[in-house]
Amino acid sequence: MSDRDPGRQNEYEEERRPPRDGEPPRPAQEPEGSEGSSNSGDTAVDPATGTPNP
């Protein structure tokens, strides 16, 4: 793989057409380095009251 700048290619990624009919327009991808950064849905405090959750 080359180290060339992709230019504006990433800007239009969501507008790409699927390779064949019936396929999603593009693969689901997360940016590099995003592993483990997903919010699990659990919060340390109640957002409405600010009290800590057990």
**3-state secondary structure string, 1-54?**
CCCCCCCCHHHHHHHCCCCCCCCCCCCCCCCCCCCCCCCCCCCCECCCCCCECC
pTM for the structure as a whole: 0.24
Q: What is the mean pLDDT of residues 3-9?
A: 67
Higher model confidence: residue 22 or residue 11?
A: 22
Lowest mean pLDDT among 17-21, 29-33, 34-38: 34-38
Question: Confidence band (pLDDT; 50, 70, 90) for 53?
Answer: confident
- Answer whether residue 46 shows pLDDT above 70: yes
